[in-house]
Amino acid sequence: MTFVEVTHEGHVSTLTINRPDKLNALSQEVLGDLNAAIEAVSRRDEVRAVVITGTGKAFVAGADIAAMRDMNQAEARGFGALGHRVFSMIEHLRFPVVAAVNGFALGGGCELALACDFIYASSKAKFGQPEVNLGIIPGFGGTQRLPRRVGPGMARELIYTGKMISADEALRIGLANAVFEPDELLAAAAKAAADIAAKGPLAIAAAKRLIRDGMDIPLPQANKVERDAFGAGFGTADQVEGMTAFLEKRAPRFTGA
């Protein structure tokens, strides 16, 4: 992979988008590398959480406008489909993904962060969906994930105006979960990922699935799905280990079985 670096520490993998000369802009090649990186970590049984970040002063400053400018309608649909496919993979991973937004997260970069389970931001981070300034709309899920994250009214304002907001404003509206000083961001994201990785992986996977899917079905049906998943958890070795460890006042040793 040319544009994505993958590192592993314990049960946590970190994916770093590395195209700093273009502010990590998402071209087809970058999306292809991100797709390959996600597939690679998904095949590692030991991975229980992932951090995605960027190199330099940007998380991802957007899609590659120079590459998009001369696309025809069919090519643009194909590019959008690629972005949707990669970001959907992130949403459907069995383990959580933390976005460590170190700088600009605009357009496709904001959409990438939205596809992650939650967002930690540097105090220097900037967020926005500025596509209307280019005469287009968000194409990698922004019109759908942003309203689900911050509510439709705020999403409309951000998308219609194309304005850029600070990390503190992103925190205020619920787009970011926490804001850190730049030199503390990666450590905070890694710690959050490691904390998650120490929990029961089957329980985390079930919780991720239920939260993701339950948002789009009626509450009574969603509660029934949760009830069934809760009961299913009692047929696992992790449940026995977790409750035994609690009663024995020791740290659990989860195996994902």
- Catalytic site positions: 111, 131
CA 127 from centroid of its chain's CA atoms: 14
